Amino acid sequence: MMDDADEYVIVPADALSPGALQGLLEEFVSREGTDYGLKEYSLEQKVASVRRQLERGEIVIVFDPESSSTTLRTRDSLRKRS
């Protein structure tokens, strides 16, 4: 898991194949600890919501070369590091 001390690389969404992006989004929304409130949402609804946030630039794809892991982070959380 990445913390604020780690170096990271922001990966443009269009650098991933459609299948790779879909897999990343599905894996992200399926992680234990992701909470969507009291209402239940389908996997498709969760992925669509995260995809919209990615398209609006609210979240970014972040690759950590040290752990070879990829995740999504809010743009605001990355700005706070500066």
CATH of residue 26: 1.10.10.610
Q: Is residue 51 part of a domain?
A: yes
Q: Is residue 34 part of a domain?
A: yes
Q: In the prediction, which pLDDT does 40 show?
A: 83
d(CA 18, CA 76): 25
Q: Is residue 50 part of a domain?
A: yes
- What is the distance between the terminal CA atoms of the chain, rounded to a whole angstrom? 19
Give residue 39's domain range.
9-79
Q: What residues pair up with 74 in beta bridges, in sequence order?
A: 59
Q: Is residue 3 part of a domain?
A: no
Total of domains in the chain? 1
Q: In the prediction, which pLDDT does 57 show?
A: 94
DSSP label of 56? T
d(CA 27, CA 16): 15
Q: Is residue 73 part of a domain?
A: yes
Q: Is residue 4 part of a domain?
A: no
Q: Is residue 58 part of a domain?
A: yes
- Interval 23-66: pLDDT, tens: 999 999 988 666 666 788 888 999 999 999 999 999 999 999 99
- Is 46 in contact with 36 (CB distance < 8 Å)? yes
The residue assigned the tokens 């949402």 is 41
